[in-house]
Amino acid sequence: MGDAIPGLWERLAGRFPALDVPFARQEPEGDTRRLALALAYRGAGFAGWQVQPGEATVQGAVEAALSRLCDEPVRVEASGRTDAGVNAWGQVASFSTHSRLAAPEMLRGLRALLPGGIWPRALGPVEQEFHARYNARGKTYHYYFWPKAEAALFLEPHCWPLKAGLDLAAMGAALEELAGEVDLAAFSTAGSDPGLTTKRRIYRAELNQLDDGLVELRLTASGFLRHSVRNLAGSLAQVGRGELRPAALAEMALAGQRLYSGPKAPPQGLYLAQVFYTREPA
C-alpha cells in the first residue's frame, strides 16, 4: 500500500517526515545544557500531551524518564499541545539540565524507559535561547479520511471512517480559498491561546487521494489554534458530503466565526507531522 508521497501506512511503519530542528554541532559552554528532543507517539492511551493530575500524558512520561536519566527534576516545553487521541510524528520539545550524560546515551535511555506508545526520534544540543514553542516558524498537520468505509474495526484507530463517499473536487475547491492569511477563530474551540491575533498564514492546504482509498488532508501554516485542524476537517467532510458549499469555509474564515455548525473530526485521524524552525514552511 502507498503512494509516491509517503502515505499513512509508510508513516505508521516509521517513515516519518524529515525533522527541522536546529541541533548544534557542538554543545554551547556553560553549566546548564539546553537540549531538544524530537518525538513520535500514538495518541491512544494518553490524555493528550500536557501533564494532568491522575492522567497518563506524553509530557508526564517524558519528564519522568528524563528526570530519572538526569538525576534531577526536568520540565519540557513542547512546540504545542496535542489533545487526547491525537498522534505525532514530529513533535519537538526543549528542556534544560545540569546532567552531563551524553546526548546519544540519553536518547538510548529514553528509548528504553518510555512506554511503547512513544518513540524518541532524535535528541541533541541547541542554543540556550531555543524554545520549542516560541521559535517554531510553522507546522504541518495531516488528517486522514476513509470514505466508503465498511469493515472499519481495524482502520478506525488510525483515521476517520466515513460510510458515504466524498466529493474530492468540491473539497479541493474549498481548500483553494484558504491560502494566505486566514482567521482561524472560525475553526477554534474556546480555551485557545491565540496570542496577539487569531490570524495565521496558511502556506499549503492540499488533498491527496492515496492508493489504498484513504484521503489525506495536509495543512501547513504559521500556527494553529485549539481544535482548528479537527474543526476544519469536520467542515471539509461536510463539503465532501454535499452538506456545505465549497465557499462556506472561506466565508467562515473571512468572518472569523463559525457561521455553519458542523462536526469536529475525531482525534485519531490527526497527526502532527512536522515543525519548522530553520526555514519558512512551504
- Positions annotated as catalytic residues are 83
* Long-range contacts formed by 52-59: CB under 8 A, 24+ apart: 58/82, 58/88, 58/91, 58/118, 59/93
Residue 74 and residue 67 in contact, taking contact as beta carbons nearer than 8 Å = yes
| Dist. CA 60–CA 52, nearest whole Å | 8
Residue 11 and residue 272 in contact, taking contact as beta carbons nearer than 8 Å = no
Which residues does 214 contact at the CB level (< 8 Å), separation at least 6?
A: 7, 8, 144, 145, 146, 159
